[in-house]
Amino acid sequence: MNITYTGKHGDLPADQQRKLDAKLAKLSKMIDHPKGDDKQAHVAINTERHLTNARLTVNYYDKQVVGFGSGADVFTAVTIAVDKVEEKLHDLREKWRDTRREPKDQTIAGAAVAEAAMPAPAEAVEDDEAPKVFRVDHHDRRKPMTLDEAMIAVEGRDYVVYRDAQKDCVSVLIRRADGSFDLIEG
């Protein structure tokens, strides 16, 4: 990363300069550009009485990310500015990930998954022997039935799934081949 300093800042001690370089190297990794290595940071430092202000500007995908920091000395001010820019870059990356990873309309996503999961027509013809699953729609608006009402409702069908009014459970009434009934209670 190419770092440009502007203003009066004096030389920092070696250990503080190493810490600052490590922070800026981390920042450089965050703004890794696929377009090239034109990573640049501009640090503007000014002093007002006993307070040092630092402004760090970094370009990230054609956007300027700016962080301000102030402290008693140059190292503190620049460190605060780097932390703020790092936080803003993290937020921008998360925002980009959240908006790019999934469609905003979930019905479109569900339709795309359903279309991808459907077999091709040639596979469907060959696979006729596979067992089929028929889903029964559950309606909460239906009123519970007694066993006698379920026996009336099973006329013309093989089975009836209903909510038992007396036991408040889901039951299945199945017609046997000999005309008798099997009752399965949940």
3-state secondary structure 10-33: CCCCHHHHHHHHHHHHHHHHHCCC
Q: Which fold has domain 134-186?
A: SHC Adaptor Protein (3.30.505)
Q: What is the pTM of this model?
A: 0.49
For residue 42, what is the DSSP state? E
Taking CA atoms, 33 is separated from 2, 24, 60, 69, 84, in Å, by 14, 15, 8, 25, 20
Phi–psi pair at 103, nearest 5 degrees: -65, 150
pLDDT per 10-residue tile (average), the chain, 186 residues: 78 83 84 67 87 89 88 90 91 74 57 53 59 70 83 87 85 89 88
> Strands 51-60, 63-71: parallel, antiparallel or unpaired by DSSP?
antiparallel
Q: What CATH number has the domain spanning 2-101?
A: 3.30.160.100
Q: Which helix (H) or strand (E) holds 160?
A: strand 159-163
Domain boundaries, the chain: 2-101, 134-186
Among 66, 61, 65, 73, smallest CA distance to 20 is for: 73
